[in-house]
Each structure stands twice: as structure tokens, then as C-alpha cells.
Structure 1
Amino acid sequence: MARDPVPTTRRVESVSVAGFGRPALLAYTLTGRPRPLATALAERGVALLHAHFGPEGVYGAAVAQAMGVPLVTTLHGFDVTVTKARLLASRKPSWVRYVSARGALFRHGARFICVSEHIRRRAVEWGYPDDRIVVLPIGVDVDLIAPAETPEVPRVLHVARLVAKKGTADLLKAFAVAARAVPGAELVVVGAGPLRESLEALAAELGVGGSVRFLGARPYPETLRWVRESRVLCLPSVTAPNGDQEGLGMVLLEAAATGRPVVGTESGGIPEAVVDGTTGYLVPEHDVTALADRLVTILRDPQLGERLGKAGRDMVVERFNLRRQTDKLEALYRSLL
């Protein structure tokens, strides 16, 4: 955030290190000496640093201390749900440093933003200072995302990176049941990841290969179009083997803003994005039978889907409006300056 020339009318302005500060950033990551990066940022009038994810916060702590500016760190999920042993075992330098040097972040971080109450609880367990934690979910642009009419095709949409945490295998098994109960049912999967090949093989093995489309990663506008053209969005996330959990499930909120009912699991922060029986449905992790039942219920009853979707839209406008959430973030910045 850059300084405004008139202190009484200070404005919030983001400054990216990627452009002007890349050499200094590279030098810092290689040597651990923050001064060159701190100098480069200070020359741009930066008055506050905001890091996303705990590992980036650890890197930012030394720079913020060298500059004498406050550091805000947003915790999104894996940074407080993956076990410390798994982070160390990854041998990824940034993760190892995060575990071993997180004490500096705890001491020097001005505020820690959690995207959900679930992440706040996990952050406290990790040792983050509770008195400096703020729960502030990322908002949804309810002006950009407008409600859409229910489509004719009984289509289920799944938007996720294809990794174990997203529960895509459970969804395929549930959809195989739903496809037999709902003629013409389709499943569209938007997202890439290391499990794609095995998931495509599972769809074929379940006999629904012809009804499931794996589109890979798609541009955001195209993804929103698929949300509008689907009757329900499903994100059956689970706790990954390494402990990783869903922080909130932003795609569930974006679908709700479109007026779509959503189906998720009682996992991580998802229950804070879905009101069971009101904006959609929640099922236990790995409960394929319950998942299939909820999908069939919505696919068979478009009027129910519309009621759930309208309630979801109202909830997002009230609790997750991007404009309001941004105002809260800017107010937090100003309180620290």
C-alpha cells in the first residue's frame, strides 16, 4: 500500500513487487537478507505489507520489521490445516521455513486475517496470537455476478483443482447413482490437477464416462457461464491425508450469488458458506449415498433449486458482498496506519 501525499486523505493503493522489485525479491529469497527489498519497497512509499498465506507471511515479517511498517497476513487454509510434520516432510523451502521460523511472524505480525471461523480456530491451535486475529472472508462481486434462470438440462457442476481434498472421486460415485435416477443428467468438471487421469478412468469404470465432461482449467468468465448453465454446484471437499482442509469454499459463494443451490460437505469452513436446507445441503465427508440423494433431490425439483438458490443469493448479498468486505479490509489497513 503506497503513501498518499496528504496524510489526512490517505488512500489504499496496491503495489506489486513482481514488477519493480523482482531482483530484490529474488535476492531476499536466496540470501535471507531483507534490506534490499525493504529499500525497494520504501522507495515506492509502501506503508503496509499484506501477505497471503502463512509461508509468505514469514518472508514478509523480516521485510516489514526492516521497514518499520505493519504486516497483515491472510490465512486461507492449508497454512493452518496441513500438519507441521507434513510441511516439513515436503522439503519445500518455503514450507520448511514457515514451520521453523513462524515465531517471528507471530511476534511481528500486526494482524492475521482468517477467511472463516474454522480457519481462526485452527490458527489459534497453530499458535497464532488470538488477540490479533480477524475473521474476514473474501467477498463476492454481487454486482458482477447476477442471478440466472434455471437451465433445462439437469447438470451438476464441479469447479475444483483435481486433488484429494476436493472429493471429486466421491462426487463421481454419487453422480453414477444420480445419473440412473435422473434421465439426461450431466456432470461438468472444471479444473486441472494431478488426479485428472485417474478420475477420468473412474468415470469410465462407473459407466458414466459419456455423461461426465472434464474441461480442465477454464477462464473465469467461462466458468461463471457454466455456473449459470448448471442446476447445482457441488463441492464435496474432504480432509486430505496431510490434514489439508477447505478454508471456506469461495466457488460455493459464487454459485449462490448466481442463484444456484449448492451441495457441500461438513468439512473445513464449508458449513460457513452453506446453510443446510436453506441455501443448499451439507453431507458428511465421504458419504456417497447422502451426496447422491441430495443431488437427485435438486435435479428432480427445479422449483426447490430456485428457492434454495434465491436464499443463497440473499445470504451472499448480506454477508459476503465484496464491496462491504473490501471496505472492512481498508478500514483495517487504516487502523494500523
Structure 2
Amino acid sequence: MYPRFSETFVVTELLSMQRLGVDLEVFSLRYPVDGRFHPSLAEMRAPVTYLKHGGLRAADVWAALGAARAAVPEVDAHLDELLAAEVGDAVQALELAVAVRERGITHLHAHFASVATTVARLAALLTGITYSVTAHAKDIFHEEVDPADLRRKVADARAVVTVSDYNLAHLRAELGPDAGRVRRVYNGLDLRGFPYADPGDRPPVVAAVGRLVEKKGFADLLEAVAVLVGSGRKVEVELVGAGPLADDLRARRDRLGLADVVHLRGPLPQDEVSRVVAGAACFAAPCVVGADGNRDGLPTVLLEAMALGTPVVSTPVTGIPEVVHDDATGLLVPERDPQALAVALGRLLDDALLRRRLAAAARELVETEFDTTRQAARVAETFA
């Protein structure tokens, strides 16, 4: 889905590639649904094509096959692959294959190793071009991931990128030699949009940002804040995001007596998110592994907080310890441990010197390892 409000890392990467001179087109499998857009989208010059999705009739399927056979005669040789796919995926692959052939596209890159890679792989197979993929989190960790399907996608790709060393180790353990060409490239930030500010004199505000889903651990954050308030501490929480657990979190907040403490702001555009995070004394990302195996790869918003000079508290889930080095670039606490989370947040709220020390080291790390121009160039190298 392009653009997707919660996937700022895709737009950041595209804009960086655009500045590097990569000739881009965007193909989206779904229409955007939330009606909110980040201002940076105005900078995108790449054309966007929305492939057919949903409401397909038999006539649509035959029309897509006929159009593809006319433009891509090789389709007949790969009918078995098309018939093995979901009908909607096959139709989108046929439409994409026609665009590839008519527009002289030489390579496809898919974000997420799920349906996007299914379509890219089929279109590449039909047209004889190459494809690559960036694997993130749900697309490799969720209980619904088919190991055989993932193995085939990784084996057939020219290159596979993933966003943390944790993910890289997981793929190598799961796929063995087929994962030999997978490389780690962290998601990048355009640091021009995340100016560093000293956190020493900020008010006692905890910021948290993300989709309101289990893996973000926001239920634990509410419990931790209840501990802080119960100890007589003055604190406020700015929680930004939307998602299926919004009503549950609101009910939990009210049950804990935190209606005047925890402010559920809903989704905000990037510039407003940065303003909220930059004004907080600390940032909480108490991520957990969900009951369905879903988990974060390495939350981009965590990197954004570190870039802005807001010290972070998080958990040692997936790739997070690769950037949050405990008591060096942030604080780590066990997942699903509200008491430990409360203690860590209390340390940051109380100690301006600690905030300054952690924030300065975190910014240095982000500048060294997460600059978008360098990261996007590494991904673009896989297209050649």
C-alpha cells in the first residue's frame, strides 16, 4: 500500500534514491485507506500506478491474461506458476508484467516478503527481469508465514535486504544456505528532518508512538505509568497512533485512573510526531513478541527519537538491542515488565545528566549507522 501512513521508512528510502538519481516508478497493490499523508510526499516525483485489486470477475481475469500474452508472450511458459497463486495476486502480476515490458523496467524491488514479493516475483519470472526484496518483521515472523513460500522467494531473488542483524540471523537459521545472499541494511533517516536538541530541561512528559497493536507493548506502558503516578510522581504521556487496540487502551487507561495523565492523540503527520517526541523528557517503546509471533523488526520511530535527542527506554526484542545499548544509548528493560519499565522511566524523568549522556551517544550512533543517503545507496546497489 502506497502511501501508508505508518510506513515512513518507505517514503524516506524512495526520496533518498530519487536524490541519488535512481529512475523510479512505484506500483501499489492497494489504495491508501487512512486519508492522512506526510508532507514529505510532496517531494516525490516518481509516477505511481495502482494495480487492480478486489472485485475481480472472470472477465477481468481473462482480460488480464489476454493483455499479458500480447505484451509478454513468455506468459504461456509460466502458466503453472500463475495458476498456483491466488487469483488476485496472479492478475496483479500479469498487469505488472505488461507495465515492465511496455515501460522498459529492468528491476523490481518489493518491500515486505509477503504479497508484494509474491507479485514482484511472478512479474519478474514472466518478463525475465530480476527482483529484490526488503524483509521487515511480520513478513518473516508471523505464525502465518509459509516457510516454503519464503524460501522460494529468497532463493529466486537477486538480493534480499533485511533491517537488523537479528532478522538476518533468523533468516539464516530458518532458510540455511538459501539465505546466504541476504544482507543487513538498516532503515535510514533523513537527519535534516530530525534536528538534535538537548533534553536536559524538558518537562516530565513520556512520548510513545506506533500502531495500537499488541507488539508495541502500550498496555505495559499504561501499567508502568500507573506505578509512577501511584508513587506520587508528576508525569504525562503523549501516545500517538491508531489501531485495533485503541478502544482497549482507552478503557485500560480510564480503569487505571489515568484519563488526565495519558493523552491518546491518534495518528499525526510526521512533523507533528517529531514535535511531540522532541518535547518529551523520554521516549518509551516497550515492544513485545505478540501471541501470534508478530514483532517489530527495528522501529523507525525509535531511531527518530534518538536522532531528536529524546532518550529512549525499550525492550530487548528483535533488533532493538542493536541500537539501544543499555545505559549507553538508552535503557533496556525486560518485555512485559511494567515495574521495570516504571523504574527506567523514573530514572530518566529524575536525572537530567543521564538524559543528556544517553541522548548524545544515541545521536552519534544514528549519524554513524542510519543516514538515509548511505542506506538507500546500499539498497540500490542490489538493483544493478
For normalisation by structure 1, the TM-score amounts to 0.86
Q: Relative to structure 2, which stretch is displaced further, 146-155 or 72-81?
A: 146-155
Cα distance in structure 1, aligned partners of 2:276 and 2:344: 20
Cα distance in structure 1, aligned partners of 2:337 and 2:233: 23
Cα distance in structure 2, aligned partners of 1:187 and 1:11: 42
Partners of 2:154 and 2:160 within 8 A in 1: no
CA, structure 1 residues 47+175, in 2 after alignment: closer, same or farther (shift >3 Å)?
Answer: same
Cα distance in structure 2, aligned partners of 1:144 and 1:117: 26
Cα distance in structure 2, aligned partners of 1:73 and 1:242: 23
- 1:15 equivalent in alignment to 2:25: yes
Q: Secondary structure, in 3 states, of the residue corresponding to 1:209?
A: coil
Partners of 2:239 and 2:263 within 8 A in 1: yes
Q: Which residue of 2 aligns with 1:72?
A: 132
The superposition leaves residues 141-190 of structure 1 with CA deviations (integer Å, 9 ceiling, x where unpaired) of: 12221112335310000101111111101111111122344643101100
Percent of paired sites with the same residue: 32
Q: Relative to structure 2, which stretch is displaced further, 314-323 or 38-47?
A: 38-47
| Aligned amino acid, residue 107 of structure 1 | A
The superposition leaves residues 32-61 of structure 1 with CA deviations (integer Å, 9 ceiling, x where unpaired) of: 254442121222221110001111112211
Q: How does 1:1-337 map to 2 (within 5 A)?
A: 11-18=21-28, 21-23=49-51, 30=88, 32=90, 34-55=93-114, 56-83=116-143, 87=144, 101-127=149-175, 129-150=178-199, 151-181=201-231, 183-333=233-383, 337=384
Partners of 1:58 and 1:104 within 8 A in 2: no
For normalisation by structure 2, the TM-score amounts to 0.76
Displacement, 1:214?
Answer: 0.2
Partners of 1:256 and 1:312 within 8 A in 2: yes
| Aligned amino acid, residue 144 of structure 1 | G
CA, structure 1 residues 107+213, in 2 after alignment: closer, same or farther (shift >3 Å)?
Answer: same
Partners of 1:115 and 1:137 within 8 A in 2: yes
| Aligned amino acid, residue 139 of structure 2 | D
Residue segments in structure 2 that go unaligned for 5+ positions in a row: 1-19, 29-46, 55-60, 65-86
CA, structure 1 residues 201+80, in 2 after alignment: closer, same or farther (shift >3 Å)?
Answer: same
Partners of 1:179 and 1:186 within 8 A in 2: no
Partners of 1:258 and 1:313 within 8 A in 2: yes
Displacement, 1:204?
Answer: 1.7
Cα distance in structure 1, aligned partners of 2:27 and 2:128: 18
Q: Secondary structure, in 3 states, of the residue corresponding to 2:24?
A: coil
Residue segments in structure 1 that go unaligned for 5+ positions in a row: 1-9, 88-94
